[in-house]
Structure 1
Amino acid sequence: MTSLLLLAAALLLLLFAGRFRDDRRRFGNGVLLGLGTLLLFAGSFLEFARFHRPVAQAVAGATGVAAVVSATAVAGALLANGIRMVRAEGGRPANLLSLLAGLGVLAVLALAVVTERTDQGPLRAAATAALLVAGYLAFLFLCFAGYAALYQRVTARRPVDFVVVLGAGLTNGSTVPPLLAARLQRALTLYRRQAARGRPPILVVSGGKGSDERVPEAEAMAGYLMARGVPEAHVLQERASTNTGENLAYSRELMERIRPDYRCAIVTNDFHVLRAGILARRAGVPGEAHGAPTAAYYRPSATLREFVAVLVSYPLANLAACAVLAAAGARAGWYG
């Protein structure tokens, strides 16, 4: 059993390395890395347990306690962050994700505790199903967060023809807010670094005019860059897009007209980097995403939003996995 687990881990990690070298912009890479790492730890632990069973049992018990304590702490942190998000950013659905996630974690823990104390078949079935689905989602989230962090740290630094800056909402209908300013500053860094080598890229600012905005986001972004010394000839505006997918598709059309064999960098905020890379791959945009820093209080909710968006982009696979796990958990809990 141990040998099979370690062999499977090695194969998964080798597959991850090959896919990562081929194209980093795949969520599946993160899942392969997570599965390989999980099997590697499981196999190593079982091998250790063969020779040090008492110690292994103590470690397993301590790990279980640590998992419960950690889950409770994470729930508390999510609730606190959710309250702060509502106070700072308002009660829009996207700002409630931290709060809802914290309540969800507490609900699963409470259901497990009640089940342990009452030991009733229906409760056991519900608790086991909930724990399996929650475990699946937690595993995918760790894969997403871990791979997003890895992706940001190994983004290629080669010269590019264009730097695409993805838009975000404007303040008071025309002012660049801090979130968008961070993206523009990151783009300026890339621009100046390459310009110092004698090959300045064109900055493509991408974003249309929202219903509550007085000017297109691209116009406000272009003004921000030119006010900081970027020549007008080095700024290209894409004014029609309304979301990230359109940002990339419409920007691709503009870049292809100027240089069909172009290479680009895509700039967004750090929490959005992996999904931007995934969408760029799907849109046929030859470029890696680069992240700009985000306020610490904003990052948890934004990361959860990105994770949900990635899950929704694979609806059949995730719904099927959750349905199978829930059914298996309910059956095991009922007859357990």
Structure 2
Amino acid sequence: MAFTHEWGDDVALFILLLLTTILVLALAWLSWGIWWRLRMRPMMLLLTIFLLILLIMAWSGMAFSMKNVILKSLWQGAFAILILLDAGWCLTLFAMKGYEYRHRKVPQVQDMIVLGAYLKDGHEVGPILAGRINRAMDLAIQQGSQATVIFTGGQGFDEQLPEGVAMKAYAERTFDYPEKQLLVESSSRNTFQNLTFSKEKLHDLNQTILIATSDYHVLRASFLARRVGLSAQVIGAKTTIRVRWRGRLREYLALINLQQGAVLILIALIFGIIFLMNFFL
């Protein structure tokens, strides 16, 4: 393909648009960070929104002015995917909030699973993990200390002992609960394995169990519990606002990863449709 003047203009436009995108996103992130840390007036939030609107205007206007079909399709496809991801993020947040704050009565259960999390300094239970344990143990005690509580979590490469072992030790120090009803699963490396390996320790697979995790993690834990084949009610321990929002972003990306096949097909369809529209229209 010859490098024409038209192609060169489009490449320059493509690079300019990419640099504009990076600059606007950096400014938006900076203004949001200032607003978040200093709790300033809503002006910073309005500035963030204004910068993002500027980005959308630049993106759409400059993209449609490109003449090369390939570059034009690439940029418009990226714009469509960004909108799709943004819409997905909003819907996921809505679903997360629904799962976090629905106040259903917790049933009497025979088994509880407490999902592990990273150990503070590699050997002790930190605030997030302590919240999960406390939530489960409080409920177990309220129900007459009859349930078996399974602490699930393996040993990370920078941890000195398995998470499940540290969790059980914390529960024994903190709560007056029958030791024989506190079990450990210490081989798992992720939430799916947490539930799969803990499933082998349950009394009755046909009865509803309780899964304790953090508030931001409830939606994915519920999804994975169904995938594993567990009848479960998931409860979330409250976390700080900062931890919750970081966690929600990670959870959104993890949910996308769980459906990566469907996501890749959707991306291919978006680029294909846009390319055909630009080529034939």
Equivalent pairs, count: 239
Q: 2:113 aligns with which of 164, 177, 180?
A: 164
The residue type paired with residue 235 of structure 1 is: L
Show the counterpart of 1:147: 95
- Determine the structure 1 residue equivalent to 2:200: 253
1:129 matched residue in structure 2: 77
Root-mean-square deviation (CA, aligned residues, Å) is: 3.2
1:166, CA displacement in angstroms?
A: 0.4
Deviation at 1:296, TM superposition (A): 1.7
Which whole-Å CA distance do the structure 2 matches of 1:74 and 1:248 have between them?
42
Partner of 2:155: 209
Cα distance between partner residues in 1 of 2:272 and 2:98: 34
Deviations 1:205-261 (A, max 9, x none): 111222222222112111111112232123111122121111101111011xx3454
Identify the structure with the greater helix proportion: 1
Compared CA separation, residues 334 and 174, structure 1 to 2 (3 A): same
TM-score by length of 2: 0.73
Any idea what SS the aligned residue of 1:251 has? helix
- Alignment check: 8 A CA contact 1:160 1:201 kept: yes
CA apart distance, 1:117? 5.6
Shift of the 276–238 alpha-carbon distance from structure 1 to 2, 3 Å rule, reads: same
2:28–2:52 Cα contact (<8 Å) kept:
no
AA paired with 2:214?
N
Partner residue in 2 for 1:218: 164
Q: Is the CA contact 1:133–1:326 (under 8 Å) kept in the aligned structure 2?
A: no
Q: 1:75 to 1:270 in 2, by over 3 A?
A: farther
Between the aligned partners of 1:111 and 1:149, the Cα distance in structure 2 is 28
Q: Is 1:278 paired with 2:212?
A: no
Which of 76, 80, 98 matches 2:33?
A: 80
Larger Rg: 2
Q: TM-score, normalised by structure 1?
A: 0.62
- Distance in 1 of aligned mates of 2:57 and 2:226: 41
Change (3 A) 1:219 1:115: closer
From the superposition, tell whether residues 291 and 78 of structure 1 become closer, same or farther in structure 2 (CA, over 3 Å): farther
SS in 1 for 2:143: helix
Percent of paired sites with the same residue:
29
Q: Distance in 2 between matches of 1:291 and 1:227?
A: 22
* Shift in alpha-carbon separation, 1:209–1:153, aligned structure 2, 3 A: same
1:238 to 185, 188, 193: 185
Higher relative contact order (CA 8 A, sep 6+): 1
| Contact kept? 2:208, 2:233, Cα under 8 Å | no
Gapped regions of structure 1 (runs ≥ 5): 1-70, 85-105
